[in-house]
Structure formats: C-alpha cells, structure tokens
A and B are shown apart, each in its own frame.
Chain A
Amino acid sequence: MRQVSSVGLLLGLMALPAALGERSSESPPKHNQTSFEIVSFKWDHVKDTYVIILWILVASLAKIVFHLSHKVTRVVPESALLIVLGIILGGIVLAADHIASFTLTPQVFFFYLLPPIVLDAGYFMPNRLFFGNLGSILMYAVIGTVWNAATTGLSLYGVYLTGIMGNLGSGLLDFLLFGSLIAAVDPVAVLAVFEEVHVNEVLFIIVFGESLLNDAVTVVLYNVFETFVRLGPEKVTGIECVKGIVSFFVVSLGGTLVGILFAFLLSLVSRFTKHVRIIEPGFVFIISYLSYLTAEMLSLSSILAITFCGICCQKYVKANISEQSATTVRYTMKMLASGAETVIFMFLGISAVNPAIWTWNTAFILLTLVFISVYRVIGVVIQTWILNHYRMVQLEIIDQVVMSYGGLRGAVAFALAALLKEDYVKDRNLFVSTTIIVVFFTVIFQGLTIKPLVQWLKVKKTEHREPKLNEKLHGRAFDHILSAIEDISGQIGHNYLRDKWSNFDRKFLSKVLMRRSAQKSRDRILNVFHELNLKDAISYVAEGERRGSLAFIRSPSTDNMVNVDFNTPRPSTVESSVSYLLREKAGPVCLDMQALEQRRKSIRDTEDTVAHHTLQQYLYKPRQEHKHLYSRHEIMHSEDEKQDKEIFHRTMRKRLESFKSTKLGINHSKKLNKIHKRDRGQKRRNSNVIPNGKIPSEISVQDFTLKEKDLEFSEAEENNDYETLHLGKGVDFLADVTKQNFTENSTGIDNPVFSADDDQSIYMKFSPWLSSEDTVVPSQRARVQIPYSPNNFRRLTPFRLSNKSVDSFLLADGPEDRPRSFLPESTHM
C-alpha cells in the first residue's frame, strides 16, 4: 500500500503542473520581457511530451512495484493489476482535475501502442508450429469471429425487441456493429494472460494465432457495419453485402501481401548492412512499421501486415544480422512490446474513470457478458468437432474449455468502440461502457481464474526442454522420410508442401535474401549444436568463476592448478541444460584425467613460450590505448567480452573433445574444428586409433581446401581487423604445410587420453615460424589488450595465440533461429 501511495504522490506532482499549465494557458504569457532571464520555467513548452513520458515512467515503476511481491503476481495477472492501478490513478486525476484528461485514444493505440506488440508476436512466432496449425487457426479466426459477431449482435437485438433493455436508439445494424467489435479475441490480452499460464504449445498457438488473424475479420465487419449504420438501414442492399464479403478477401489477403512484400524488402536490406552494424537493428523496426502504416493507408488489415512481415522476415533477418544486432533487436522488441502492453492496460483503467462515457444499462451489459461467453463456448465446441476430423493432434475437451475461457477481449475492442461517432451511433456511450465492462471482466476475472482452472483441469503444459541434438537430427530425418513417403504414395499433403517450399527457399529465396556466410551457417541443426556447445562452455566457465578462479582452464604450473570438481552442486541457473547432464553423468573422471595428463606433459615444453609470449603481449600495450575512443558508429568490444568468448570457446572444445575421446574411443583430432570455422591445423592424427578412420593424407588435402573456404568467409565478415586476417592466413599456411608432415610421421597412440594436447603442439612445433610471424604482426588481441585485465584472465595470455580472430567466427556463427533461453522470451520481464 505504501508503494501505491508513493505512486499517487508522483501522480500528484504530475497533476499539479498540469493544473498550473491550464491556468497559465488561460491567461496568455506576457512577452514584454524587460530583461534576459537566466532561468525560465517553460512548462507549456514541454508539457505534452513530459506528461507522456511521466505516464510511461509511472507504468514502468508500477511494474517494478508489482514484482516486489511474488505472492501477488503469482496469483493475479499483471494486466489485471495494471488495470486496477489505472483505475486508481484515473480516480486521482479525476479528483484533482474534475475532468478525465487522459484517455486511451484510438489514434495513439492503433498507431503507437499496438504495432510493437504485434510485431513482437510475428517476429518471434514459432513458424513451424504456426503453419502446422494454420488451418485450425484460420477456421477459428474467420468463422469463429463471424459466428461470435453475428450471434451476439442478433441475440442482443432479439432481447432488445422484448423490451427488457428499455428504450434504446439503436436498430439491428447498431447491434451487429457492436457484435462485430466485441466479437474479436484480443491479441494483447491473450498474450498477457497466456504467457503466464504456460499451456501447451498447440493450445497456445491456436488461441494466440486466432487472436492475431481475426483482425482482418474484425476490421471488415466493423467497417461494413459502420458504413451501413451511417448510410441507414434503407440503403443496405444485397450488392453492399456482396461488397462486404469481397472486401474481406481484399483486406485480409492484401494485408498479408503487404506484409510479405515488406518482409522481402527488409530481408534484402539486412543483407547489405555489413558496414552499418550500428543502425542494423533499426531497419527491422522501421521497415516493419512501414508495412503497418502502408496497410493502414490502403485500408487493409494492418495487424495482418505487420504480423506476416515479422513471420516472413525472421528467418532471413536473424541469419543476416550480427549476433549483437540480433540481441539488440530481441531486447528492443521485447522492451517496446512489454512497455506498450503496460501502458495499454494502465490506460484502459484510466479511461474507465470518465463520467462522460458511462451509461449504465444492466440488462444490456449483463446479457452481453452472457452472450459472448456462451456463444464462444458453442462456437469453439462446434468448430473443434469439425476440425478434429482432420487434425492429427486432437483437441480434447479440456483444450476446448481453455480455448473458450481464453477468449479475452481487450484494448482493440475498446479502441474500436471509442472510434464510433455519436452522431450516427446513438448508443455510443452504452457501447463504450459495455465494452469496458467486458474487457475488465475478461481480463480481470477470467485472467485471474484461468490459472487455477488450467491447474485444476490438468491441461498439458509446455515442457521446457532443451533442444537435443538427437531430437533435431531425427526431426530432420522425419521431414525427409515423410515427404518421401508422400512422394512415393503419390499424395500431396502437408509434408509434400513443406518439402517443396523448403526446396524453393533453399534454391531461390535464401540465395537472394541471405548473406553467403549466413547461408552456410543457417542450418538449424548446426545452430542447436553451436548453442549447446556455447551453453556448455558458459556454464563451465561460470562454474570456474564461482570458485573464484579461471585457473582451472590452463595453468602454467602444476602448483596453482585447480581441478574442477563437477560433482559440487551448482546454482540452478545452468542446471537444466543437456550439457550439464552430460557433465554430471560422465564428466568427473575423464575430464580431470585428461586435464591432468595434459598439464603434466606440456608444462615444461610450453613454459618458455608462454613467458615469451606474455612479454610480447605487454610490449604492445601502449598501442592499443587510442582504440578506446568514442565512436558513434562502432561499438568497441570490451576486452572482457572478447576474452570471455575465447575462453568459452576453448574450454568448450577442450572439454567436448576429451569427453568424446574417452566416450567413443576415438581420436579427437578432427572434431568440432569445422564447426567453429577455426582450423587448428596443427593436429595430430592418430589414425590408428580411429575405428573407421580415413586415410590421413586424404583428410589433410580435404582440410586444406576447406580451410581456404573458411578464410574467404571470415574475410567477408571481418569488418575491422584485416591484420588478424593476414596473420590468420600466414599461420594457416604454415599449419597446413606442417600438418602434412605430421600426418606422415603420425604414430599411433593407443589411448588418446594420453596424447598431447593440440594447442600445446602450437608451441612445441611452431614457435620458430610463429614467433617471427608474431613479432611482425601482433595479434588483434595483443593490440587491444587492456593493461590491467581484471581477475585471472592474465593467466590465459599464453593461449591467446589464436591464428584467427575468435570474434570473427563467433560473428559468422552468430545467427540463431531461436532466442536463447537465457534471454528474455516473454514480454514480461
């Protein structure tokens, strides 16, 4: 309660200048200034923007306040809390101002608040799930909405004729107009409530998809009936009705088409933003917003436009933009959507406190509530019954209950109602107040009870599983098998279409819309693999950091060696990953064994090189300082970040290899390196141990050509450090030359665990060439090295002798198709 009062205080502060401003605007300011004022109070100057920003601040602060108490937020959905807060604030404003000065205007809602939410929904839409259920979604969205609108409108009119509602100035058309605006399930409300409920993905996508796609129906129905009401019932002819039906197809397909066109444009633009990384994320927002505005301009369905813009562009954009930009896009989009949602719900509450719009008609309001609920249930049951004849995953009765119950109405309905003109819709105020009641009832009451309902009914919930590599592989195999079976049996089914589409996509679309490097790494399986590895490495390093040192990765002497004990229970942050499982099950023995052996063997050999190299690194120290200048067009990567990445990468590889070599009984020489586009050419090939090994020479030849390709890619992606590349090339060459020697005199080592570590071999075998190379061109890291690096990173300096920039391959590897789990995935942060 204290928090609420503090918010109220803030608001009081805000309302005060507002009142002041009004008074001062009544008496025009004097312009006959006698002297120059050092400071002047220009409230009028900033008033409008200031108030808006303050409102946003209040809403955001309110969110913080809500989340101070977990008990409250677990039970009450945030949207409901925001509405209540809005009502309270509205009351305060009303008390202070005596008129309701702030309301949610349709203009603001449709132009600024709705687009970010819908774009967010489209851009993060699980495409496969969405298109897999598209048939059902369309059915609910189109037929369900028409059904709801018609039945609600007609039933209300029917009851009105009996005279219970008293005398209203409305005819049948007005009731149908009201029915059409109240019929649509609202995407904002559905998202807000369902994200907290976590029902299974099929159920979610159906309700959510419906709420997005029914926009076209709502827009058309609304426009048609609004025009009819304006024209008057006598002018409504059959031709007009046919026009209405035609306009539905134009509006929906047109909106979709606009979205797809802009998605194409956006993907194409994102292909060429290599040199303007900083504004790269901006394109995503600007072009999608343009699609919204264009559709609005052409009076097409703008929600469909921006949804499909997001859905269609996501694959290409995510592949094209850099990892940092992708993160930026993700965060910005979530921030905008979450902010807009917060503001919407709060303003819904504020708007309700307006004596001017309230017209109470108990029968009308109650009957509306009853009808929309009842017809929603009936509609869902009938449609599901039809759909279940065609669906693979049946929608059961429990699902139907949730679907009916989840039919929340929201701000779209309110904005549409507010758009009505009193001139020709006589009962506008009744419609508006009824809409508000309906919205409040569905969001607060249904939102509050849906969670217990879902628990009580034991609705299948989403399982948060990590993507498993095997699963992805089998999934891919399935796609091919199924489409092949459809080919063989001569059926044209879902798999057939998907297969044809992905072929088309691969052959044409991706070639046009994706960077070459992105085409290479876009494979989903590769992404999962990469992601798993990364997560693995992160948790590994996190573990090390938790124990206060990074020394466990490599330490130059055995004395301060820290062995990682993987058996210790760790904080829950990383616990759920598959990789954790891997480590937990099998890590302790093999990793430690190998690490010990490696260290013991290599310490003496490497220590000299290490010392030299450390010296070298510090010699170049002064040079890097001017790199830390301010730049608007480039973000300097902090040194920590780079080091972290490198550490991640190295430990990850190391760990995985040691693990594998023991597990699979194979040599670890030729794994993983290709994945990371980093060639550790200095590989020892213990071909004797490889169970089904290839002939070594063959591999090296193959490797060489591959390496050339890799180099090309990094060249394309590298934007700042050509010197690194130069270095990389040199070392590559050396590496390849020497590697061939290696393969020739490779001796079979029976147990790979005891083989010398690859990276040590850099020092052991290549120091003559490498050091000469190094003195000429310092590594990128050496140049950017921060003199006093924090914590124990310095230990790692010897191993920074990477022959290629780590960042470059991380960049090239960056795009992922799925937001990572440790990044925000919901609009609720």
Chain B
Amino acid sequence: MGSAHSVPAEMRALADRTGFTSEQIEHLHRRFRQLSRDQLTIRKENFDSIPDLEFNPIRAKIVHAFFDKRNLRQESSGLADEINFEDFLTIMSYFRPIEMNMDEEQLDRFRKEKLKFLFHMYDSDHDGKITLQEYRNVVEELLSGNPHLEKESARSIADGAMMEAASICVGQMGPDQVYEGITFEDFLKMWQGIDIETKMHVRFLNMETIAHCY
C-alpha cells in the first residue's frame, strides 16, 4: 500500500479508514512521495526538507508526533523509525474537519481522538501523565519564538498553567497533597466547553497545491 500504483480498491480502503476523499488521498500521496523522494517510507530527516517548517518553534514535537506509535493506532508504544503512507494519512486524519453528518457519539469520539493526539504530544515520556517538567518543556519551546522572553518566564507560565490545571481537575487539595501531572482524564476536563473540533483542523483541499520542497 502507499505504492506509486495504488489500485482503486486500495484507495477505497484507505479512504474508509481515514475519512479522506480519494482526491485528497491522491494529493497527499503526491506530497508524500515528494517528501520521501519516491521511497515507500518517510524518515525523520525527510521533514528537514520543508523550508517553512524551519521557523516553527515546536517543530521537533510535531515531527515527533508523526513517528509516535501511539498516534499510529498501533498497540505498542515507542517510536517508529519510519512511517509509510498509511501512517502518514493516519496522522493527517487527526486534523480532518468535522463532517456535517456526524452524530453526537461520533463527534465525541472524534473530539477525543484529537485531544489524544495533543496529549501524546505533551506527554513525551509516554507515562500517561503530563508532568510539570514536560509541560515546562512545551511552554519553553512554544515561547522560544520570542527572543526577548527568558526561560524563567516560560517556566513560571508553565507553573501557573499547571496550577490552574490542578485547580480545575482536583479542586480542593490538602496542604501536603501534590499534583503529579495531568492525566488524560484531567486533560479532557480542561478542554470541556472548548470546541476543539472547530479549532484543530486543517482544510485539506481537493485542488492542486503549491509544494515547497528542496
């Protein structure tokens, strides 16, 4: 699968699994081959060839997410060395916009999946908890785009955010109680009332796109 000669049946299977239309899959496939230089798989180094990505402060985290086995719907955890086209599509499908005809249950699952992706991105040591240190790292990276901001600020912002999370998720705490980190349940709680499905989406166009690559 994911080869240059994808037969319609295979395409349909992919479309079923990921929810993309066949045109979108074709375009993404073209892009995939461009990135992989006509190989069947993509390695981390391939992402270096995207010039626009260079200025992204959390670039490493994003690229990482592509190789994170938790995101690839595989049972094991850990990191993949390379991903094939189907994996690529799987990752991309996290960013599909909601569809008109989704019912409540589907919407909920859809939402959870998106959040899970985000959660995995923060939880870099795969222990199912975003610890303070992990959060700090993310915030530091996020704010690294601003050269005038010191690391200390980032840290205290992360601390403040963590406190906020603690107060949302745990509520009343004893004086000696320690909040260890944000679990996925807590994460869901924090996102309550915020329409992630309208925020976390990319419009995958059906038309030919301009691709930067060198």
Contact = CB atoms under 8 A, between A and B. Distances in A.
Interface of A: 392-394, 463, 465, 468-471, 473-478, 480-496, 499-500, 503, 506, 516, 519-521, 523, 525-526, 529, 532-533, 578, 581-582, 585-586, 589-590, 593, 656, 659-660, 662-666, 670-675, 691-692, 702-703, 706, 709, 751, 753
A480 B58 contact: yes
Contacts of B53: 484, 487-488
Given A470-B161, A519-B148, A656-B160, A495 B202 contact: yes
B149 A487 contact: no
Interface in B49-90: 50, 52-53, 55-59, 62, 66
B134 to A, nearest CB: 9
B108 interface: no
Which residue of B162, B178, B200, B202 has the most chain A CB atoms within 10 A of its CB atom?
A: B202
Given A473-B139, A753-B175, A489 B56 contact: no
A488 B47 contact: yes
B175 A489 contact: no
Given A469-B160, A487-B50, A663-B163, 18 more contacts: A392-B203, A469-B164, A470-B164, A473-B138, A474-B118, A477-B58, A484-B53, A485-B202, A488-B31, A488-B47, A490-B212, A491-B202, A495-B202, A506-B146, A532-B160, A656-B160, A662-B173, A692-B133
B178 A665 contact: yes
B163 A582 contact: yes
Q: For the complex of A and B, list the 5 residue pairs with the smallest distance between their C-beta atoms, beginning with the closest.
A: A674-B152, A665-B178, A520-B148, A490-B211, A487-B52
A489 B193 CA distance: 30
Nearest to B135: A473
A532 B167 CA distance: 14
Interface string B171-186: 1111111110000000
Interface of B: 27-28, 31, 34-35, 47, 50, 52-53, 55-59, 62, 66, 92, 95, 97, 100, 118, 121, 132-133, 138-139, 142-143, 145-146, 148-153, 155-157, 159-168, 171-179, 190-191, 193-194, 198-205, 209-213
B172 to A, nearest CB: 5
A383 B33 CA distance: 39
22 contacts: A468-B164, A469-B161, A470-B190, A473-B142, A474-B118, A474-B191, A481-B62, A486-B202, A487-B50, A487-B56, A488-B31, A489-B31, A490-B31, A493-B203, A582-B163, A582-B167, A660-B159, A662-B175, A672-B156, A672-B159, A675-B152, A751-B176
A485 B35 CA distance: 13
Contacts of B165: 470
Contacts of A477: 58, 118, 121, 138, 142
A520 to B, nearest CB: 4
Contacts of A392: 97, 198, 201, 203
Contacts of B62: 480-481, 484-485, 488
A500 B52 CA distance: 9
Contacts of B95: 482, 485
B118 A491 contact: no
Contact of B174 (A473, A589, A660, A709): A589
Given A392-B198, A392-B203, A520 B161 contact: no
Given A469-B160, A675-B153, A394 B100 contact: yes
B144 to A, nearest CB: 11
A664 B162 contact: yes
B210 A663 contact: no
Given A473-B161, A480-B58, A663 B166 contact: yes
Indicate the member of A532, A533, A691 with the most B CB atoms within 10 Å: A691
A670 B171 contact: no
A487 B34 CA distance: 13
Contact of B203 (A494, A582, A585): A494
Contacts of B176: 662, 751
A489 B202 contact: yes
A586 B200 contact: no
Contacts of B146: 506, 520, 523
A663 B173 contact: yes
B164 A706 contact: no
B143 A523 contact: yes
Contacts of A394: 100
Contacts of A500: 52
Contacts of B47: 488
A478 B92 contact: no
Contact of A481 (B58, B133, B148): B58
A666 B57 contact: no
Nearest to B139: A473
B36 to A, nearest CB: 12
B182 to A, nearest CB: 9
Nearest to B205: A491
A465 B190 CA distance: 13
